[in-house]
Amino acid sequence: MIEVNRNPEEIVVSVTGTNRVTVTNAGELKTAVVDCLSKEKANVVLNMGEVKYIDSTGISVLISGVKVARENNLRFELSNVQEEVMKLIRLMKIDKIIDIRG
């Protein structure tokens, strides 16, 4: 499930109820992230606190978020990234193009 919380500085999108971002939920996640960036014109933080596994479809969501944020001069960040997911993000060098909060 994807949860969207709005506050004055940014929108926090969270993956909840599952510890995986895969082809089964990546579409819903991408829609939430892209809509917040492109339609609402808001900075977005993707809270990945529950995510312990991400597949290539999930990685493509992250890259799409970066692209749409740049096109709209907005900020897209990840937060609470678990170690196993962080290893993949580093391996794919995504940490070079996206900000990651502790």
Q: What span, in angstroms and rounded, lies between the C-alpha atoms of 36 and 17?
A: 21
Output the pTM of the full model.
0.94
Residue-level length of the chain: 102
Distance in angstroms (rounded) separating the CA atoms of residues 85 and 69 = 21
10-residue stretch averages of pLDDT, the chain, 102 residues long: 94 96 97 96 97 96 97 97 96 95 82
Neighbours of 91 (CB within 10 A): 9
Q: What is the dihedral of CA 36, 63, 3, 10, to 10 degrees?
A: -50
The pLDDT value given to residue 15: 96
What single letter denotes the amino acid at residue 18?
Answer: T
pLDDT number for residue 102: 73
